[in-house]
Amino acid sequence: MYHAEIHITLRKSILDPQGKAASHALTNLGLTGIESVRIGKLIELSIDATNEQEAETIAREACEKLLANEVMEDFTIKLTNA
């Protein structure tokens, strides 16, 4: 059994209105020194696979087919033994 943490973020070339709003709010709260904010998603999967390569393939396929919009988003996958 494997645990996959998938981080999905907007590509750098895509404007992030949620991140922009959060950045303004943080400034209004008096938090200085924050250059920019980007907001993304964290998705966790439990994957029943015989080895790490198979688990990686399953997680990548899930991202490519459903979880991430590859036109606008990038994703990274971190696998650990569950």
Mean pLDDT value across the chain: 97
C-alpha 12, offset from chain centre: 13
Edge-to-edge strands of the sheet including 73-81?
A: 41-47, 2-10, 73-81
What CATH number does residue 42 fall under?
Answer: 3.30.1280.10
pLDDT level of residue 7 (50, 70, 90 thresholds)? very high
Domain that residue 22 falls in: 2-81
Average pLDDT over residues 45-51: 97
pTM of the model: 0.86
Residue 79: per-residue pLDDT: 98
User: How many domains is the chain partitioned into structurally?
Assistant: 1
